[in-house]
Amino acid sequence: MEGLNKLPGVDKLLVLPEIKAMIAEFDETLVKHSIRASLNYFRNKALKETTVPPLDGIIEHIHKGIQLITTKSLKNVMNATGVVVHTNLGRAPFSNQIIEEVSEILKGYSNLEFDLKNGKRGSRNAHVTQLLTYLTGAEDVLVVNNNAAALMLILRTFAKDKEVIVSRGELIEIGGSFRLPDIMAASDCKMKEVGTTNKTKIQDYENATTENTALLFKAHTSNYIIQGFTQEAKLHELVALGKKKNIPVVYDMGSGLLRKTSVEVFKDEPDVRKTLKTGIDLVSFSGDKLLGGPQAGIIAGKKEFIAILKKEPMVRALRVGKTTLAFMEAALSYYLDDKTLTEKNTIFRMMTKKPDEIKHNAGLLQKELSKHKINSSVVTGKGQCGGGALPGKE
């Protein structure tokens, strides 16, 4: 308690030259906020340690508190990890071209929800619908703020309080301990596991169906692989079973590859167009991974199911804004031909870099590090796609 008496009051601190200098540089309300926060911090500390720092220590703490608020937290970093779509580093980076294209839209007003042809209110989803239906072959699409939101919307709309059948080998977990069973529970679904970790047959799905089964669910294991004595129900088998039982089939594709091009590493990754050709009812995938766009969840599939989703009140809570739509439209436009895609899509450009170019860039980085007296060396290594895509591929 003795230490508490040594803490200066707010009024005493406000007259100090150092604090006055802070007020001259920053807003007075902000400085007072930091003073009170610092005093509260040292007050609680004094109760445990019975000591308080010298006055200059308190002043320094106040200044650091101001910097925590005024200094922008998001910063440019250099990705030298060897992981292209690095979730912790922001996933797909944008090229200068896409930023220039989108800047005009973001700097002013736009026809976000206005039909310029008819002079009436329009749909914000319309700006990417034509591109997405052309690129995927889907009858209709819906864009929400991320793929987890897309899944929750699908599950709550079609399977609330009902059964969703899924293979035990596809109970995926993505970053941050975010698990498919948790999404099912949060969507008020009754998840029904079938098969085993390494083997699930179409008969397992069929034997598990009941009158309360609302969906047949498949998840692309985009961040792990099961090898050896394995088997999974093929997509065309699930589609046939869904038609036989009159149960919709949903496929969470995770990263969502729109176009394979000639990039060898994408050879075994399922692409959206080919998947939809199986007759599946709905697929969902991310916008900021392999697609190379902004964070978004894209739902594509049959018009009858998309129409039901669009009417859900939850859609408004999950809808995307003009920034996302502007970047999404630009990113999708690059998929119209292979040349533009590899030139303007940062993910595809990085995935197709030649070893000599990578080595040259590593050498430039090494020189920059040496200027700061950081010892480093250029060695041959292997990269990964990341972002929960292409597991086992280097």
Share of the chain above pLDDT 90, in %: 66
Q: Could you give all domains of the chain from N- to C-terminal order, each with its CATH number?
A: 2-70 (no CATH), 95-341 (3.40.640.10)
Q: Tell whether the model's pLDDT for residue 1 goes beyond 60.
A: no
Q: Tell whether the model's pLDDT for residue 9 goes beyond 60.
A: yes
pLDDT band at 81 (very low <50, low <70, confident <90, very high): confident
Q: Note the Cα 45 to chain centre separation in Å.
A: 39
Mean pLDDT of 227-251: 94
Predicted local distance difference test score (pLDDT) of residue 176: 63
Q: What is the pLDDT of residues 253-312, one digit of tens each?
A: 988 889 877 777 777 788 999 999 999 999 999 999 889 999 999 999 999 999 999 999
Q: Which of 247, 184, 237 is nearest to 211 (CA)?
A: 247
CA-CA distance, 108 to 98, in Å (whole number)? 17
CA-CA distance, 168 to 159, in Å (whole number)? 19
CA-CA distance, 149 to 138, in Å (whole number)? 20
Q: Note the Cα 238 to chain centre separation in Å.
A: 28
* φ, ψ dihedrals at 286, nearest 5°: -85, 155
- From residue 190, alpha-carbon distances to 184, 243, 262 in Å are 7, 21, 41
Segment among 188-197, 277-286, 354-363 with least mean pLDDT:
354-363
Q: Which residues contact 260 (CB under 8 A, 6 or more apart)?
A: 266, 267, 269, 271
Most confident of 2-11, 87-96, 97-106: 97-106
pLDDT band at 388 (very low <50, low <70, confident <90, very high): low
Predicted local distance difference test score (pLDDT) of residue 158: 98
More confident site: 385 or 34: 34
Predicted local distance difference test score (pLDDT) of residue 392: 60
Predicted local distance difference test score (pLDDT) of residue 156: 96
The answer to whether 312 and 299 are in contact (CB under 8 A) is: no
- Cα angle 315, 160, 283 (rounded to 5 degrees) comes to 60
Q: Tell whether the model's pLDDT for residue 387 goes beyond 90.
A: no
Predicted local distance difference test score (pLDDT) of residue 266: 77
Write b or e for each residue in 104-124: b if 16 or more Cβ atoms lie within 10 A of its Cβ, otherwise e: ebeeeeeeeeeeeeeeeebeb
For tokens 């303007």, what's the residue?
344
Predicted local distance difference test score (pLDDT) of residue 350: 85
Predicted local distance difference test score (pLDDT) of residue 255: 84
